[in-house]
């Protein structure tokens, strides 16, 4: 079977299973199995697939057609130009969150040897990206989930990050009395209605990392109360928020002036405050 034939069959199977990105997902599966770049596919559609590649991608295809997220099937997700291991222990890193990470790096400009905290770290995408791009920083990654922290540690090892440490606990309980120049957090923020209407593949991700209480704002309330006791003078708190939540979160942070930043889709995605 040629690559082009496999792509056509795979895309048809995924589309029949309800995959809205069937053709693109088929290409990702093929490229990961063969090591080809996506830009080379047009020139390689007539190439024959060897038995080893066919066995691997057929197994992956069956998992994707059954509704497993593509990133879990492939075992990785790209974020901030880095590749993170990805599996059901933690939420899949998404491009929207790169807005938060970019603002976090911006907030650290001009600070020498800064101390940073990644709350609810999941895969470690935010904290480990900061650690990679600011090797002079000391970054603490925390999560209430021991499984998520295990995955974050694996990512630190795979990425060669040595300036990160890890602690398990519920929000700031894991940080003790430390203060930070940067606190970044992508907390659970889906409300009850969101959880009831989740796409089937999102239901494969840990609910612990998704559900933010009946109105989706429970974690923001706690962070707003406690964050100022963990920031250095001029330190920045950056929070990812869901669609339509920015105003409510900004109102909770009345102890400091807020800035709001949009993601690439024009959605208000990040709220930032600076400690006095």
pLDDT tens digits, residue range 145-187?
A: 999 999 999 999 999 999 999 999 999 999 999 999 999 999 9
* 243, part of any domain: yes
Query: Is the distance from CB of 128 to CB of 158 less than 8 angstroms?
Result: no
267 domain-assigned: yes
96 belongs to a structural domain: yes
CATH of the domain at 249: 3.40.50.150
Residue 83 included in any domain: no
Predicted confidence band of residue 16 (pLDDT cuts 50, 70, 90): very high
Same domain, yes or no, for 170 and 213?
yes
Domain boundary pick from 35, 67, 99: 67
pLDDT, averaged across the chain: 95
pTM of the entire predicted model: 0.92
Q: Is the pLDDT of residue 8 over 90?
A: yes
Two structure tokens written together for 114: 């800064």
**Rounded Cα gap, residues 165 and 161, in angstroms:** 10
Same domain, 147 and 261: yes
Q: How many domains would you assign to the chain?
A: 2
Say whether both 61 and 111 belong to one domain. no
Q: Are residues 17 and 101 in the same domain?
A: no
Q: Are residues 137 and 192 in the same domain?
A: yes
Residue 209's CB: how many other CB atoms inside 10 A?
22
The pLDDT score that the predictor gives to residue 266 is: 95
pLDDT of 254 reads 85
Mean pLDDT of 70-93: 97
Structure confidence at residue 230 (pLDDT): 97
The domain containing residue 232 runs over which residues?
Answer: 90-274
Q: Would you say residue 157 lies in a domain?
A: yes
Asked whether residue 108 falls in the same domain as residue 49, the answer is no
Write the DSSP symbol of residue 37. Answer: -
Please check whether residue 74 lies inside any domain of the structure: no
Phi, psi at residue 2, to the nearest 5°?
-85, 165
Model pLDDT for residues 207-266, shown as the tens digit of each residue: 999 999 999 999 999 999 999 999 999 999 999 999 999 999 999 998 778 999 999 999
- Stretch 117-122: mean pLDDT, rounded? 98
126 vs 102: CA distance, rounded Å: 9
Whether residues 21 and 105 share a domain: the answer is: no
pLDDT at 201: 85
2: helix, strand or coil = strand
């Amino acid at each position: 079977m040629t690559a082009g034939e496999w792509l056509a069959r795979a895309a048809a199977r995924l589309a029949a299973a309800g995959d809205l990105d069937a053709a693109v997902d088929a290409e990702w599966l093929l490229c990961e199995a063969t090591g080809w770049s996506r830009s080379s596919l047009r020139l390689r559609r007539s190439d024959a697939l060897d038995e080893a590649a066919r066995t691997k991608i057929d197994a992956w295809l069956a998992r994707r057609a059954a509704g497993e997220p593509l990133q879990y099937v492939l075992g990785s997700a790209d974020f901030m130009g880095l590749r993170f291991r990805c599996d059901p222990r933690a939420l899949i890193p998404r491009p929207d969150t790169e807005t938060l990470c970019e603002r976090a790096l911006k907030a650290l400009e001009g600070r020498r040897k800064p101390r940073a905290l990644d709350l609810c770290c999941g895969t470690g995408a935010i904290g480990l990206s900061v650690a990679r791009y600011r090797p002079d920083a000391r970054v603490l990654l925390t999560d209430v989930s021991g499984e998520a922290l295990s995955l974050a540690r694996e990512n630190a090892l795979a990425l060669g990050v040595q300036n990160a440490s890890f602690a398990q606990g519920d929000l700031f309980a894991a940080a003790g009395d430390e203060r930070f120049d940067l606190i970044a957090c992508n907390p659970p923020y889906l409300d009850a209605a969101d959880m009831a209407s989740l796409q089937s593949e999102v239901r494969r991700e840990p609910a612990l990392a998704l559900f933010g209480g009946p109105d989706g704002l429970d974690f923001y309330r706690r962070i707003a109360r406690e964050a100022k006791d963990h920031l250095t003078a001029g330190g920045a708190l950056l929070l990812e928020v869901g669609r339509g939540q920015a105003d409510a979160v900004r109102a909770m942070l009345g102890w400091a002036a807020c800035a709001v930043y949009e993601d690439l889709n024009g959605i208000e995605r990040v709220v930032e405050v600076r400690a006095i």
